[in-house]
Chain A
């Protein structure tokens, strides 16, 4: 009996367990999936929690619910991977031997990387919304905040869901408008990038929206420290931005277990072949989702597209066949813009987001890079799709793993 081990039962790991449970020969292969947590969180929901659009029960379900019956869920902490021995060492001293290993341990925030970020103002006036606790603390703060300077800030790239901080700024604008206090709130968007987003056409559209919503943008800001006393953020060039509430996206890093295993780069991401998703160092290790260093967005949609291709590649690997170099960096993201509207972007390694229609060329019903109510309905419907379709590894009809160029307006 051979053993396939998946580390991490988040979005990526759970999808792989479901795909592979249908594909691997049950008499030959045992599938184990390892995670220390009990809850599976719908991470995109963290964006909505601070504004009372979602409640905690919309976001949290049990991990067990989504693990296929023929896979064993091992609840425990991972100490490290010993890739040369094909072993995973657990914190409790036990060991798992594997024939094939899938790393899906994700990325998380590391506020301690920035001086003063996790200081006395942490969760008092300095917040993150990339954790459940942070998002909930922010909700409680915003419920009776009287107004002032709201600063939405990105520490450094790459981060999970690079559009989320922009969405946060847009939703905040909408939230304070509905509370009839928009005139009491000054919103500033602070980014280390040269503009609102990483790709030129989307940046143009998003900067237009920021302007329309009266949100200031401060670009090229590389934070040096948070000053808890004066409530300011200061960059290496000496630029100072004051805040009453700082909503920051701290540095994102891969799991410390990757560092302990000696398998990561300087941010604990595992060097991975960007088209096959195979580890660059070990042929029987594959890396999926946020844990890898591939130059694609760290987003659930990316993990979903990767999972379809990785499933094929695991089967190829097991059968001794060459791997398919097929993953193209495909990402598909809704961007909430407030007031019941959203944008949709669809892009990959080589093609930036542009205008057009999706998923049917010329028809839609979703519009690319343009605000619409239908896009917003798509984003809200996505939560249902996530729990009921995506995690189960079911293919989403009409949306292919590799990006389609049809219906898109490239110059």
Chain B
């Protein structure tokens, strides 16, 4: 389905995750963050960039892996993206929700 985010029409799935990363840009991230009641600081951007890099390298993401990444520890990850950080952060980063579970 299509959704208008930051004045642009982008393709999203039923949970609101972008289905085409090429359509992502910073203004979209800001608006998705606002929907989750987060205002993005430089620290947020570091984490988002890390997640996008891992996605491009096809590394499956998990809370454990992020905690060991050296970029952010789990505690801070929760402070930056409260409640369900991995789900929230990946949505803002414009990458798929991790299927870390079987």
Contact = CB atoms under 8 A, between A and B. Distances in A.
Interface of A: 156-158, 162, 192-194, 198, 220, 222, 224, 236-238, 266-267, 295-298
Nearest to A267: B64
Nearest to A222: B63
Contacts of A220: 83-84, 87
Contacts of B22: none
A31 B75 CA distance: 49
Nearest to B68: A266
B15 to A, nearest CB: 10
B102 A158 contact: yes
Given A224-B74, A237-B78, A237-B82, A266 B64 contact: yes
Interface string B63-88: 11100100000110110001111010
A224 B65 CA distance: 15
A241 B5 CA distance: 37
B56 to A, nearest CB: 19
Nearest to A329: B102
Interface of B: 62-65, 68, 74-75, 77-78, 82-85, 87, 99-102
Given A236-B77, A237-B82, A266 B102 contact: no
Contacts of A193: 101
B77 A194 contact: no
Contact of A162 (B75, B87, B102): B102
The interface centre, meaning the residue of B65, B82, B100 with most chain A CB atoms within 10 A of its CB, is B100
B88 to A, nearest CB: 10
A194 B102 contact: no
Contacts of B85: 236
A193 B74 CA distance: 16
Nearest to B86: A222
A194 B87 contact: yes
A296 B87 contact: no
